[in-house]
Chains A and B, each alone.
Chain A
Amino acid sequence: MNDLTEDDRIAAMAYVDGELPAPDLAAFEARLALEPALAAAVARERVLRASLAAAYAPALDEPVPAALLDLLAMPAPAPTSQAAAANEPITVGANDLHRAKLSHARRWQWPEWGAIAASLVLGVLFGARVLSPHPAASGGDTLALGVASDGAVTAQGALRDALEQHVAGIVLDPNSPVVVGLTFRNHARQYCRTFTLDNASSGIACKQSEGWVVAALEHSTSAPANAASGAGAYRMAASPFSPALLQAIDAMRDGDTLDAPAEKAAQATGWKP
């Protein structure tokens, strides 16, 4: 099994890691066809690499403990509203910043989710929320996402309310961290709306049977800095969306964006396709 030279074993390892220098690549691959011991070493390294990656991948799916997110938060007086039941939406609130040490008892209070994609999206959202430049403005309200059994991320709390209620430029809750932008129908004739959270994240959600499913979400790193230096009012730039998000809108859109009367009419039907 170990009849390979040290150099060959390191080469097999580097090959699997994508680190073999380009000039050596062709010669190494030619040898693989001729030397079963070398090919076997490469196969073993591949299995090991895949096994290690798989073994630790579930750690990415776990919700990040509140205490860790708190470290990255801005000072915020609002109390935490915590999700209790396993299927409660994840509630992102402001926690106290003065926990010196992680409290082990609190560690796993949040439900665990399946989808890696969901946790990445939530990670971005948590980042946006904890960075709210004016957390007090939103008080104790909750800005939340839930994850359905199929891994779809649905809007909850303030985000869901805004998507449901804000039409024709009318904002029911002036303290809402959510600004709803355009409304359009996608190719499945579902209603989709763009939104901005805390001036820091932008996305698209489409109304489906299970609620407003978040179809795209991105974090804007420049907005918080602008907002922090601003007077506190939500700043509506000409376009709050990145080129990537605008492209996503264009790709999803079937027909024009809705005008104010059309938004009201759609809302009256419960945003049903």
Chain B
Amino acid sequence: MSLSPLALRAEIAALLPRLRRFARSVTRHREDADDLVQIAVERALRHLDHWQDGTRLDSWLFRIMKNAWIDEVRARGRRDEVLAPEEAGEHVGYSETGSREIRLSIDKAMSRLPEEQRLAVSLVLVEGLPYKEAAQVLDIPIGTLTSRLARGRDALQAMLGDGDITP
């Protein structure tokens, strides 16, 4: 209400780095990630009036991205869903050589999580959303969110092992 469409566009522009990070962790693929951000931003711009002042703009955009990604995964079906993990790993950004191994293994582990667990893990552990916000983004009760988080984390711990993620 109080933010003009122009100001909202500016706010969304400022959120682009975070939207891309979220997309990267959800899609595990750089090009998919930017396509997802593009689709979500286009949808958001068509429905700027749906955003409610006083709610978090980032959560609203994450929710649009989640819906777009679920649509995309369904459209692709089982066949295309098997993105080669090696390829996905290659596309993970890293800047310090020292942490490369960790990032590759984390990305591979993330790519093996079921979609719903990966979304929960991305929102809470990568994006740092409070449970309440993350549950709203995913349209699920908080109890469901915490159980997806717990299962996702257990699976990640098991895949990464203590050795891989020792700081």
Contact = CB atoms under 8 A, between A and B. Distances in A.
Interface of A: 6, 9-10, 13-14, 17-19, 44-45, 47-62, 64-65, 67-69, 71-72, 74, 101-102, 104, 107, 114, 119-120, 123-124, 126-128, 130-131, 133, 200, 219, 221-222, 224-225, 228
B40 to A, nearest CB: 10
Given A50-B167, A127-B10, A228-B6, A56 B24 contact: yes
A67 B154 CA distance: 38
A65 B24 CA distance: 14
B16 A123 contact: yes
A54 to B, nearest CB: 6
A47 B166 contact: yes
Given A48-B157, A101-B38, A130-B9, 8 more contacts: A17-B124, A55-B103, A59-B33, A60-B21, A72-B45, A107-B34, A222-B7, A225-B7
Given A54-B102, A72-B41, A126-B13, A131 B6 contact: yes
Interface in B1-26: 3-4, 6-7, 9-14, 16-18, 20-21, 24-25
Given A71-B42, A102-B35, A53 B153 contact: no
Given A107-B34, A120-B17, A221 B126 contact: no
A224 B7 contact: yes
Contacts of B146: 10, 13-14
Contacts of B35: 101-102
A51 B167 CA distance: 8
Chain B, interface residues (CB within 8 Å), range = 35 or more
B31 interface: yes
Interface of B: 3-4, 6-7, 9-14, 16-18, 20-21, 24-25, 30-31, 33-35, 37-38, 41-42, 45, 92-95, 99, 102-103, 106-107, 110, 121, 124-126, 128, 130-131, 146-147, 149-150, 153-154, 156-157, 160, 162, 165-167
B7 A221 contact: yes
A56 B17 contact: no
A49 B167 CA distance: 11
A219 B37 contact: no
A127 B13 CA distance: 5
Contacts of A61: 93, 95
B17 A69 contact: no
A67 B153 CA distance: 35
A58 B156 contact: no
A56 B25 contact: yes
B14 A44 contact: no
Contacts of A124: 14
Contacts of A13: 146, 149-150, 153
A51 B121 CA distance: 12
B24 A59 contact: yes
Nearest to B146: A10
A140 to B, nearest CB: 21
B31 A224 contact: no
Contacts of B3: 221
A121 B30 CA distance: 23
Given A10-B150, A13-B149, A53-B125, A62 B156 contact: no
Contacts of B13: 69, 72, 123, 126-127, 130-131
A71 B46 CA distance: 11
Nearest to B156: A48
Given A61-B93, A107-B34, A225-B4, A48 B165 contact: yes
